[in-house]
Amino acid sequence: MAYTPELSRQASCTLRRIAWALNIPMTKAIEKVFEHMPFILDNKKVCQGCRDKSKCAECSFHHTQSNKSSLDT
């Protein structure tokens, strides 16, 4: 990871409870949260707002959008 983001007190509290519920470390819990985000957020909007198109192959939003497109046909 390029940098370690600082979480707000509330976000840290929430993440800790997610980690406890899943019985995994907070570092793994935040990855689970990010894995789930493409199913919640508008992928097209995220991709349109992207400022680094060189990372599309690594991005969950790109993969989910591609999967949705292939499911539509």
pLDDT above 70 covers a percentage of the chain that reads: 84
**Residue 57 pLDDT > 80:** yes
Instruction: Please give the model's pTM, rounded to 2 decimal places.
Output: 0.70
**Helix/strand/coil percentages in the chain, nearest 5:** 75, 0, 25
3 state DSSP class of 59: coil
Residue 62 — very low, low, confident or very high, per pLDDT cuts 50/70/90? Answer: confident
What mean pLDDT do residues 34-62 have? Answer: 93
